A and B are shown apart, each in its own frame.
Chain A
Amino acid sequence: MQPDELQMLLEGARRFVARHSGPDDATTSAAGDAALWAGITELGWPMLPFAESDGGMGADLAAVAALLEVLGEGPLRAPYLEQVVLAGGLVAAAPPSTLRSELVAGVMNGHLRLAAALYEPRHRHDLMRCRTAARPCDRGYLITGDKALVLGGTSADRLVVLARTVLPGDRGQGQHGLFVVDTRGPGVTTRPVALRDGTWASDVTLQEVLVEPDAVLCAPGAADATLARALNVTLTGASAAAVGSMSRLVTMSVAYTAGRKQFGRPIAAFQVIQHQLVDMQRALEASRGLVAQAVAAGVSGDATRFSATARAAKAAIGEHALYIGKAAIQVHGAMGISEDLPVGRYVRRLVAFNLLLGDPHFHRTGQWPGVVTA
């Protein structure tokens, strides 16, 4: 992808995001979501992260992060990160197969909406201790278990499900595999979950869902590298989107405090407010730098470095995001608590960013696919 092509894509994205972001945006209805997704497909975003050899635009991680930053500025609540970057990323990083080619083509042309079913109830941030079982049978695998907070799940046609093989005499060791199931298939129950930031997820129950060999995306024991690549790209993308939201909060805070007068002068004339604004800017610039580090690690080809850097960025930016969110409310005073300004919308978005896909403490200490811990 050429630099000028990327610039055009980002300019188009800014216009689209400005038109489609708001307190009551299209994602609240299925029809609205479908129309929004049609617009997104027209702009070519689903093709952006896929390789040219797959028919995609072959954009590098820097371009994907740049687009997500624009989405975060909206914030646009369409499930682009969830469905294209995460679920699509799992497909892109999977070994070659007929299934892989079919899914890549479907995601890129916008006709197939995919979501990733990774997390489970009561497990907080830990996705590797997955209990969903894949039992071998003569026609493939039978998948049974509960998945929680499948991001973008309400508008998905198919799910990429993380499950663990259970062999006779298994004592819980098992091996992780990725399996593709139809959200309307037999044995699959989904329940929509409205999240506090206005996005949607679903809880999914799988009851002896048959997955034939041609729907196995990553065979048991061969999923770790795929999971690691897609998740680390997603952490980087989510961090970039958070930077977009944080930059809006900083800009709004500077403008508000310059205009709000108390004691006969703008409150930005008080040193205590100035210091607060400076700390917010510092947190924003640190976050931007961390995204750049994660992007550089992602394109380096060194998987270990990428995991370490993307997780470090997610952890630190999560804290910066929470700080900026709280500080933005404080300098806006009661206006920051009310829904008359969009401050709360960005703050809820950043709180969600911090708590999803592993929070700071988890990324500093917890298990992650592809990372061997002592």
Chain B
Amino acid sequence: MQVFLRDELPAGRRFVADSVETMSRAHATWWQSTLNRRGWGAPHWPVAHGGCGWSPAQLRYFQNACAAAGAPLPSPFGPSMVGPVIYTFGSAAQQRYHLPRILDGSLLWCQGYSEPGAGSDLASLRTRAVRDGEDYVVDGQKIWTTQAHWADWIFCLVRTGHDGRPQDGISFLLIDMHSPGIEVRPIRSIDGLHHFNEIFFTAVRVPALNLVGAENRGWSYAKFLLENERMGSAAVGPLRAMLERLRNQALSTDEFAEPPLRDPHYRERLASLEERLLALDAMELQAFEVSDGPARMKFAAMLKLAASTLMQDVSELAIELAGPDALRSPGDETPEFAAAAMTSFLFGRAHTIYGGTTEVQKNILARLLEPVLS
């Protein structure tokens, strides 16, 4: 593993492990296909579907090694999110077509969950899919769609039923982003960059064969995916790499006349963040041991809470250490770590919003307490 990483990531090609903010389609495709050539396109998938059948602990070891070696973050939407949904709930034809293309990075994905009126209250989504012969006809709007401007496919939650609870009328549909009637509009974000998009669907015809599982059962697949997403949110490897970089930079006499880490105040702040990382690391290991539903739900929410706030606090310390230089817009004259720190600080506000806000995670945890409290 170390040999592979050293060969594929020579000094000149190393990435800043945490900078999902500055990822490009070319980076994502290159790294995914590189991993796949070695058989590690999605090592946590079952062997039958092209994975290595690795346990979560093995996967975690691998991801940490990748982050330490300066590998780019792979796009999560295919290998981590929709892939497991397809091999667990999808048809044989969907598996045959999509899984190899996720593994080799030839088709990239994005996630069509949020809508302007459906954020934390995701089940109130209104994008509708109406059956018409062999197709569904999709009309509506998705928003905050990360990487939709590169993606080839989108996995989408759509409304197919109107009876019962709102959750009961939702289906999980795979849609080719090149279909007629799809319009992608960029949303500029707080760091000045383009990550998010709005997607407008106008009478988009989607073959009914692209429905995953059963009609109106999409909510359970979506929950399966969200829980996987939260379980995988700890990002211990990238966080460790960030903290190590921060420690080195804050001791650098090239960057600072008086390196800030000579000041006990900053040593204490950094140490406290490192303690939180140790705890997160341990919590992630514990999470691998649980298998029953409520305990998994609890760990998923706690990991998401701990990791998202830790990432934010690391970038907040990073801009403080950089000092006024953190305010320089990215460019040739700007120290790279200062620009990266501010981009992470600004865009990193999203960590406590996407994938279920901090408030939503706490509500989940509070509900799990109810049997004890009542």
Residues in A lying within 8 Å of B, measured CB to CB: 119, 122-126, 129, 148-149, 191, 193-197, 203, 261-263, 267, 270, 272-273, 322, 326, 329-330, 333-334, 336-340, 343-344, 347-348, 351-352, 355-356, 359, 361, 365
In the bound complex, do residue A361 and residue B323 qualify as a contact, i.e. CB atoms below 8 Å apart? no
**Which residues of the partner chain B approach A361 to less than 8 Å between Cβ atoms?**
265, 320
Q: Decide if B319 is an interface residue (CB 8 Å cutoff).
A: yes
| Residue of B119, B192, B324, B354 most packed against chain A (CB within 10 A) | B324
Q: Are B256 and A339 in contact (CB under 8 A)?
A: no
A355 in contact with B327 (CB, 8 Å): yes
> Is B210 an interface residue, CB under 8 A from the partner?
no
| Chain B residue nearest in CB terms to A366 | B263
Given contacts A193-B329, A337-B350, 12 further A-B contacts (CB under 8 A): A122-B256, A149-B328, A195-B328, A196-B327, A196-B329, A334-B114, A334-B353, A338-B187, A355-B323, A356-B324, A356-B327, A359-B320
Which 7 pairs, one residue from A and one from B, show the smallest C-beta to C-beta distance?
A124-B323, A344-B190, A262-B121, A339-B188, A194-B329, A122-B257, A329-B349
Pick the interface stretch among B27-35, B63-71, B355-363. Answer: B355-363
- With contact pairs A334-B143, A344-B346 given, residues A351 and B119 touching in the complex (Cβ less than 8 Å): no
The chain B residue with its CB closest to the CB of A331 is: B359
**Inter-chain contact count A-B, CB under 8 Å?**
127
Q: A122-B256, A195-B329, A344-B346 are in contact. Are A334 and B144 (CB under 8 A)?
A: yes
Question: B196 on the interface (CB 8 Å rule)?
Answer: yes
Interface on B for A, CB 8 Å cutoff? 114, 117, 119-121, 124, 143-144, 187-190, 192, 196, 255-258, 260, 263, 265, 312, 316, 319-320, 323-329, 331, 333, 342, 345-347, 349-350, 352-354, 357-359, 362
A347 near B258: Cβ-Cβ < 8 Å: no
Q: Cβ of A196 and Cβ of B342 under 8 Å apart?
A: yes
Pair A365/B190 contact, Cβ less than 8 Å:
no
The residue on A at minimum CB distance from B321 is: A124
Q: Which residue of B lies closest to A262 (CB)?
A: B121
Contact status of A333 and B324, CB under 8 A, knowing A124-B256, A203-B333, A262-B119: no
CB distance from B40 to the nearest CB of A (A): 33
Q: Let me know if A333 and B319 touch, CB within 8 A.
A: no
Write the chain A residue with the least CB distance to B329.
Answer: A194
11 residue pairs bridging A and B, Cβ less than 8 Å apart: A119-B324, A125-B324, A148-B324, A148-B325, A149-B324, A330-B352, A333-B120, A334-B350, A343-B190, A355-B320, A355-B323
Question: Inside 8 A of A125's CB, which chain B residues have their CB?
Answer: 323-324
In the complex, which of the residues A129, A273, A361 has the most CB atoms of chain B within 10 Å of its own CB atom? A361
**Chain B residue contacts of A347, Cβ below 8 A:** 190, 346
A326 and B316 alpha carbons, distance in the complex (Å): 11
